[in-house]
Structures are given as C-alpha cells and as structure tokens.
Chain A
C-alpha cells in the first residue's frame, strides 16, 4: 500500500494528548480499516481502546505513531503531527509484538534505541528494573520468552520517560502472573501526568486499569466514556427464572415501574429499578407464579463490549454514549 505523503494537519488543544477528527484509513482504496474516527484522549488518563480483532485498533495506533498515513481526516498527538520528531520525542510505544534485533542483547537493543532517540543511556538500567528484566539484560533478545519480549517492549517504551505511552495488547503471551504484574505496572505508569493509551481486547485488563474506554467496531468508534458510563448505557436489569414465563411476562409488563420484559426460554429480563425487586417478587408470588430464581444483573464491561461489537454488518451502531460524550 503506497500513497503520496500527506502529513495530517495539527489541531491545537491543551486538554487532549490525542485528538483525531474524521480519521480514515483505506487499503487499496477499498478495504476500510478506520472510518470517521473521532478519538480524544485526555491528558493524564489511562484510556482503554477496546475492539475485537480486525476492528481497526492497531491501524489507528499506527496512524498515531506515523507508521501509517491516514487517507482522510486529521490527527494531533502530543501537540504535533503524528510521526513528527516533536511528537515521537514524547511518546513511548509498543505496537503488536515487540520487534528487536535478535542478535543483540536486551540491553544493547535499548542502547541502540537510546542512541537513535538521543537520550542518556543511564535510563536503560532504570527501564529494565521497572519491567524486572535486569537479570537477563545481557542475554540475546532471540533467546527471550514471549513474556520477556513483551517486557522488553515496555522497557523500550519507557526509556524516553514519555508523556504518552501507547501500548498495543501488552499482556499478549504473558502467563496469569505476568498479566497481573503488567496490569500493576500499567496502573503505576499511568499515575501522575503521564497518559496511557492501552489497546486491548482483554476486558478484565481494561476494567481494572483504565479511567475511560473507547470501543471501536469495524473502524468506527461506537462508544466512549468511563466504565460506569458505558455500563449505565447498558442498563442493569432483573433476571427472573420461572416455569410460567408467558404468564409472568403479561403480569410484569402491566406492573408500574417496569419499562420492558424480554423472554428467553424460562428466563425473563425485566427493565426496572433495583428498589422494585421485592415488590415484583411479591406480585409474582401472589399471582401463583412459581419463581425459581431472582437475580439483579449488573452488566460487566464484557457484556457491554459484546453488545457493542456484535452484529458486525450493522451499519448504524449505537453511538449514543459517544454523542453524549461529545456534547459534554
């Protein structure tokens, strides 16, 4: 894929470390990877960039780093055009699998990057310490396990002491203990003024680490907000299991405070508020409808994610939350 260079125009904003407007990327002028993407990452936050495989996450990150040029729209990263030396000087990044020279040691790979970036080599040891890789720093990168490669990738992103850290699937290939360590590390790195953009499809990771989340589907941002805001959009509900679902549906639909009842086999999903649960239970029991189970369901981020990202062919996804965010 080639095209004439067209550096995206800079948009000045002090509030956002990353700001894109109507960003788009097509391959071979037909395959849409990113479309009309308006992404805003605030200074100092840990922003989760969620989406299924092939949704356009990595393509977006590549555009933000200047590795890939957008076919439409504009982007501003740390106050400069993506890929410009001014922007890259403030960014530490790890995109997909960490890529280093296999014949160089971990330490020499970082030394080589430090020379390119014009930063003191004294930072290398600190970065290696932060990712707990000091003991293997003199071994060749080609001998590292996948987890160690991931950690070296993070160390490489840290040696610039960056204002913005872009991490693409940083826990890929890590064992559960390594994943927990990486999450702790990301939380630590995200403290203070540093901004972290974390791309992932691991819900737990994002839920535990991120302040705000953007969900991308088929190249479009379909939702954006805090995790609670996204959950709020996908309302909590009451789940009722009964042997008489049809009778229960008729009864509950007519009950004040209930705004909707869906049936799925023996299970009813009732749109209502939590304080009405005892009353609804009483109504069902008084009507002689046997209640096998009552459960107040609070949607997880995973539920929200699946809801937002299923039906890939739907051209008009919910953008309600995103629009609310924009209005705010």
Chain B
C-alpha cells in the first residue's frame, strides 16, 4: 500500500493542475482574507472603518479569518482537485493500466484517496501561512496589537480546515467516478456549492418533515464548524457566491457529519469503481 501511495503522490505532484489549484487557493485566501478587506478598510468612509474589520485581519483572528474561506472557495477548488485525481483516469484510460498491475482495485483507489488527503495538507497549511504573513504586516502598519492565537486553536483550525476540504474533495472523487470524467463532475460540484444546496435548504425549510435534513448538508456543516472556531457568521451570510445564512449547528455535530459524509463519499465511490467494468 505504501508503494501505491508513493506512486499516486508522484502523479499528483507532477501534475500542473495540482500546483495551479494550490496557487489559486493560496492567492484567493490571501486576497479575500487580507488584501481586499484591508484596501477596503483603508479607503472606506468612516462608517466602514470600524475596529471590528481591522480586528479580523490581525494575528489574533488568524484562525477564524482564514477558515471563513474554506467552506465555499476552498471547498470548490479542492472539489476540482478531487475530480481531477480520479476523473482524468477515465479520459486517459489509465484505470486499465493501473488495474492490470499487481494491487487490486480498492488498493489503487485507496492510494489515490490517501494521496489526495496528503495533498490537502499544503492547501490548508499554506493558506494559514499566507495569513500568518499578511496579518502581522497589517498589524505593524496600523500599530495594532500583535497577539497570536493559542497553539491549540491553531491546531484545531488546521484540522477543521483539512476536514472541510477533504469532504469537498471526497465529493469531487465521487462525482468523478460516477460521471466517469471531469467536465460534468466539476460542473455539477460547482452547481451544488453555488445553487443546489441553497435551493434544498430553502425548499426543505418550508416542509417540517424535511427540515432536519438541512442540518446534514455539506455547506451548512462546513460553515458551522468554522464559525465555532472564530469565523464570522456575518461574513458567511454576506452577499456573494456561496453565501450561507444558516441555520448553524454545533461544532461537534458538524465534525461528525462532515466525517461521515467524507467516509460515505469515498465508500460509494470505491463500491462503484469496484463493481464496474473498466474500459
């Protein structure tokens, strides 16, 4: 299994798309987490220059401020990574090459999923690093306090960020396997993040029998988890793609639900891949 994981890490690390997505995510996280808010804050009128906005950009709010981008922007980018990690093997017909080596199908698939999980670590870590570079610069420029969050919060923040991204990536893997390709899977994934979950929430909110289902949706739990760790609920509810207006659930429930969804997405994908003929 170790050999298969090494093989899949080689494939992911040599693929330009992986680095492009990583670069895009870190740039987006830094831009929307610090650069744009700071420019807006610096150039805004008195009503928009409240201390609350500056506080979000200071080192002490690093965890919450960074995690705010994970449930949608970060999620969609790693969904694309998940789709590419398995869907491209249909386009290039490389499943047949992999499945005629010694390991069984589940081992090859398991290695792909683990390699993907390993690759999500730099997605989380580098975005935090970008925040850890940007926030003290802002604090220094504005002569604000340079207080860092405690280590335990940072660890929980990194873990929560990984869980949110891994669940989105697993959804990408599932869509890639089900659609046996990349284009449709990426389209469906983005559509789900942008529109479908919002529509489901609005619809189910009107039907008392279906209302509890809302608490188990992916974005609902992802946003709930990050707000527990300091991300702003107001920002989540703000206008823009992927905006989420609640309801928010508890941190423990969100963690469990995301973990179960991660396992379910991977499990269904593995089951489907195992039983299908490979062309």
Q: Which residues of A contact B278 (CB under 8 A)?
A: 62, 67-68
The answer to whether A67 touches B277 (Cβ under 8 A) is yes
Q: Which residues of B contact A83 (CB under 8 A)?
A: 99, 104
Q: Which of A103-111, A205-213, A226-234 is near enough to bind chain B?
A: A103-111
A288 at the interface (CB under 8 A from B): no
Q: What mask results when residues 83 to 104 of chain A are scored 1 for a CB within 8 Å of chain B, else 0?
A: 1110011010101111111111
Known: A68-B277, A104-B11, A104-B14. A115 touches B4 (CB 8 A): yes
Q: Which residues of A contact B16 (CB under 8 A)?
A: 103
Q: Which residues of B contact A119 (CB under 8 A)?
A: 102
B101 at the interface (CB under 8 A from A): yes
B15 at the interface (CB under 8 A from A): yes
Partner of B97, one of A4, A66, A156: A156
B49 at the interface (CB under 8 A from A): no
The answer to whether A116 touches B275 (Cβ under 8 A) is no
Q: Which residues of A contact B3 (CB under 8 A)?
A: 115-118
Q: Which residues of A contact B14 (CB under 8 A)?
A: 101, 103-104, 108
Q: Which residues of B contact A62 (CB under 8 A)?
A: 96, 277-278
Q: Which residues of B contact A2 (CB under 8 A)?
A: 275-277
Partner of B108, one of A111, A116, A118: A116
Interface size on A, residues (CB 8 A): 39
Q: Which residues of B contact A116 (CB under 8 A)?
A: 3-4, 7, 98, 101-103, 108, 111
B92 at the interface (CB under 8 A from A): yes
Chain B residue at minimum C-beta to C-beta distance from A142: B92
Report B111 CB to chain A, min CB distance, Å. Answer: 8
Q: Which residues of A contact B274 (CB under 8 A)?
A: 5
Chain A residue at minimum C-beta to C-beta distance from B16: A103
Known: A3-B275, A113-B7. A65 touches B98 (CB 8 A): no
Partner of B96, one of A1, A95, A118: A95
The answer to whether B7 touches A85 (Cβ under 8 A) is no
Instruction: Compute how far the CA of A23 lies from the CA of B237 in the bound complex, rounded to whole angstroms.
Output: 60
Q: What mask results when residues 218 to 244 of chain A are scored 1 for a CB within 8 Å of chain B, else 0?
A: 000000000000000000000000000
Where chain B touches its partner, the secondary structure class is helix
A217 at the interface (CB under 8 A from B): no
Report A111 CB to chain B, min CB distance, Å. Answer: 7
B10 at the interface (CB under 8 A from A): yes
Q: Which residues of A contact B40 (CB under 8 A)?
A: none
What are 29 contact pairs spanning A and B, CB under 8 A?
A: A2-B277, A65-B100, A66-B99, A67-B277, A69-B277, A83-B99, A85-B102, A85-B104, A88-B103, A89-B102, A95-B100, A99-B92, A99-B94, A99-B96, A100-B97, A101-B15, A104-B10, A104-B11, A108-B10, A108-B14, A112-B7, A113-B97, A116-B3, A117-B3, A117-B102, A118-B3, A118-B103, A119-B102, A160-B101
Instruction: Compute how far the CA of A171 lies from the CA of B169 in the bound complex, rounded to whole angstroms.
Output: 40
The answer to whether B102 touches A88 (Cβ under 8 A) is yes
Report A172 CB to chain B, min CB distance, Å. Answer: 14
Chain A residue at minimum C-beta to C-beta distance from B274: A5
Instruction: Compute how far the CA of A112 lies from the CA of B92 in the bound complex, rounded to whole angstroms.
Output: 15
Interface residues in B247-276 by Cβ distance below 8 A to A read 274-276
Which residues of A are in contact with B by a Cβ distance under 8 Å? 1-5, 62, 65-69, 83-85, 88-89, 91, 93, 95-104, 108, 111-113, 115-119, 156, 160
Instruction: Compute how far the CA of A84 lies from the CA of B106 in the bound complex, rounded to whole angstroms.
Output: 12
Partner of A85, one of B11, B93, B103, B276: B103
Report B276 CB to chain A, min CB distance, Å. Answer: 5
The answer to whether A4 touches B275 (Cβ under 8 A) is yes
The answer to whether B100 touches A88 (Cβ under 8 A) is yes
Q: Which residues of B contact A67 (CB under 8 A)?
A: 96, 99-100, 277-278
Q: What mask results when residues 4 to 18 of chain B are scored 1 for a CB within 8 Å of chain A, else 0?
A: 101100110011100
Known: A67-B96, A99-B92, A101-B92. A115 touches B276 (CB 8 A): no
The answer to whether A112 touches B275 (Cβ under 8 A) is no
Interface centre among B111, B275, B277 (most CB of A within 10 A): B277
Instruction: Compute how far the CA of A69 lies from the CA of B275 in the bound complex, rounded to whole angstroms.
Output: 9
Report B18 CB to chain A, min CB distance, Å. Answer: 10
Interface residues in B205-258 by Cβ distance below 8 A to A read none
Q: Which residues of A contact B6 (CB under 8 A)?
A: 115
Instruction: Compute how far the CA of A160 lies from the CA of B100 in the bound complex, rounded to whole angstroms.
Output: 11
Instruction: Compute how far the CA of A191 lies from the CA of B4 in the bound complex, rounded to whole angstroms.
Output: 32
Given A116-B103, A118-B103, list of 5 further CB < 8 A pairs? Answer: A5-B275, A98-B97, A103-B16, A116-B101, A118-B102
**6 closest Cβ pairs, A-B complex:** A115-B7, A99-B93, A117-B102, A68-B277, A116-B101, A115-B3
Instruction: Compute how far the CA of A296 lies from the CA of B163 in the bound complex, rounded to whole angstroms.
Output: 79
Report B145 CB to chain A, min CB distance, Å. Answer: 47
Q: Which residues of A contact B10 (CB under 8 A)?
A: 104, 108, 111-112, 115
Chain A residue at minimum C-beta to C-beta distance from B6: A115
Instruction: Compute how far the CA of A91 lies from the CA of B99 in the bound complex, rounded to whole angstroms.
Output: 12
Instruction: Compute how far the CA of A67 lies from the CA of B97 in the bound complex, rounded to whole angstroms.
Output: 10
Instruction: Compute how far the CA of A323 lies from the CA of B98 in the bound complex, rounded to whole angstroms.
Output: 37
Interface residues in B1-38 by Cβ distance below 8 A to A read 3-4, 6-7, 10-11, 14-16
Report B270 CB to chain A, min CB distance, Å. Answer: 12
Report A58 CB to chain B, min CB distance, Å. Answer: 10
The answer to whether A101 touches B96 (Cβ under 8 A) is no
